[in-house]
Amino acid sequence: MIHPLERALLLGSALLVLAAPTALRAQECLDCHGEPGSSVSFKSGENRDVTVDRKAWEASVHGSMGVACTDCHTEIKEYPHPEVTDKTARDLTLRFYTSCQQCHEDQFKKTLDSVHQRALAAGNKKAAVCADCHHPHTQKKITDDKGLQREGKLDQTSAATKKTIDKVAGKIKKTVNPKH
């Protein structure tokens, strides 16, 4: 018979072994993407910096929970990466934003009847999507253990985004509902 302490140690060791590949995948990605100057080019001629700040990632809710880069970037299976086929950086963002629903299904569903989604459905590529306010590489945890919003824990971009939304709200309304 296995002693309860031995059982706990075995279980803990098994969990570490299972968790190691996820951490290793993030570490492997950060070996390149953690170096300043990493960028990707688009068919439009624009470039996007794809450097990920290692400390910011580790402090983010996704990094601290051991989320693997490939959990969201599912098309990345090897290095060198497949060619980026998106015409613009915004097209890339719009292609990835639905990956948030894999883990955040309830929150994602709430956005489906938002002004942002209506603007997007109307063809406005500038309409806000999840990552525009909640940067997946830097977003801190904004809820407590009960799922309630923690005081002062919204991503810093939220305040700036709120100002931008207030500034362009009329333009978005006109795109969604031109009669008003």
Q: What is the pLDDT of residues 12-39, one digit of tens each?
A: 443 443 444 555 588 999 999 999 999 9
Confidence of residue 122 (pLDDT cuts 50, 70, 90): very high
Distances (CA, A) of 105 to 144, 150, 158: 18, 20, 20
Look at residue 25 in the predicted model and tell me its pLDDT.
80
pLDDT, tens only, 61-107: 999 999 999 999 988 888 899 999 999 999 999 999 999 999 999 99
Give the Cα separation of 114 and 166 in Å (integer). 15
β-bridge pairing 47-49 and 39-41:
antiparallel
